[in-house]
Amino acid sequence: MARDLFQKCYEYTQADEYKAQGIYPYFHPLGSRQDVEVIMDGGRRIMLGSNNYLGLTVCPEVVEAAERAVEVYGTGCSGSRFLNGTPEMHLELEKELATFLGKEDVLTFSTGFQSNLGIISALVGMHDYVICDMENHASIYDGCRLSFGKLSRYRHSDMADLEAKLQRVPDGYGILIVTDGVFSMGGDIAKLPEICALAEKYGARVMVDDAHALGVIGRGGRGTASHFGLEDKVDIYMGTFSKSLASLGGFMAADAKVVDFVRHSSRPFIFSASIPPACCAAALAALRYLEKHPELVERLSQLSSYARAGLKARGLNIRESQTPIVPIFTYDPVKTLRMTTELYRRGVYVNASLPPATPPNECLLRTSYMASHTEALLDEAMDIIRDVVKSYE
């Protein structure tokens, strides 16, 4: 007799246990726009847990562009880009992104997660290796699993370990090194100069996931390669629209021949409906706004530095970064959830980062900042964070 497929579902109790303890931190209903202050569960919360880095989800130009797109194109494309789902606006967005990033071509996907699935699975074949930083985003690993290639992982930002992995690749195999540009949990930046040097030494190609770097670092927010002046050394940029560009979707930017291969080979791309018109228009408007207002990137950097200094001055142990992602070490999972719940009760929303998103006993309160925050609002939030974290010491 077969084992009941659903048995694992009936035996899963962790979420119910956290709910019974009053420390379940997920699925809080949002009753307002995604902004520096939001209404969640009917109450005011200072938002320190969003990836809306430039604050453009409430930008009038972006909102109006989305509204106009619905009037012109309707609410959906009802098909894949491969078939009937390519409104002219999609091509316009791809062209302007390619120009902004200095690459020959861009291909858009329906989500950021799908972008990594679609790029990696299309490019990495049976006689290829894909080599990943251990702290890469889950979508990168799922893209590797969907491919027919061989996966090898190196210790986080450990260039000696990366070289050891490269040395073990047999002759005649293709190699793709994939790294987050800005790591989503820790907020640290990849060691891209060393990665590119090793790629050149061993004949590998380099792909950078810039989901948390676009609009955040680099000249005018152009990302990790721009940050290091390595635009000609990074073969593929991947990015999302759901963070700095205030919408939904993702993209790859690369040489035209590489993009065209993925366009005609990627199953996640070919068999998924395209980005809805409102999302496409919002991303395009946000990109144009960023190009006109590069000072937003500098303001974001200033506020992030202000938050890092403020948290340290309040005696909190943070994980060092140069980005708007500033994690606070809390170590223990249950204690982390209790802190998150108490912060939420007192009006500050942060994200609890637990295994497998973090190593065991390295749990974090992941705080993240927007260019539209004010110093006064951050001071209010940081005072509350200090009081809550210190109460658990």
Catalytic residue status for 8: no
> Can 147 be counted among the known catalytic residues?
no
Tokens of 76: 């959906």
Backbone angles phi, psi at 162, to 5 degrees: -60, -45
Main-chain dihedrals φ then ψ at residue 343, nearest 5 degrees: -60, -45
Using 50, 70 and 90 to split pLDDT, how confident is the model at 330?
very high
Q: Residue 321: is its pLDDT beyond 90?
A: no
* From 90, 212, 227, 373, the catalytic residue: 212
Q: 37: buried, middle or exposed (CB in 10 Å: 19+, 13-18, 0-12)?
A: middle
* Structure tokens that stand for 288 in this block: 């144009």
Q: Given the DSSP bridges, would you call strands 351-353 and 236-240 parallel, antiparallel or unpaired?
A: unpaired
pLDDT at residue 101 above 90? yes
pTM: 0.96
Question: Which parts of the chain fold into alpha helices (H)?
Answer: 7-11, 14-21, 60-73, 88-101, 112-123, 138-146, 159-167, 192-202, 224-228, 256-265, 267-270, 277-292, 295-313, 333-345, 375-390
Find out whether 204 and 131 touch, Cβ atoms under 8 Å.
yes
Average pLDDT (159-186) is 97
Report whether CATH 3.90.1150.10 matches the domain 14-47+294-390. Answer: yes
Write down the CATH number for the domain with range 60-292: 3.40.640.10
Where along the chain do its domains lie?
Answer: 14-47+294-390, 60-292
Pairing label, strands 174-180, 205-209? parallel
Q: What is the mean pLDDT of residues 80-89?
A: 92
What pLDDT is attached to residue 360?
Answer: 82
Active-site entry in 243, 244, 247, 373: 243
Average pLDDT over every residue of 177-187: 96
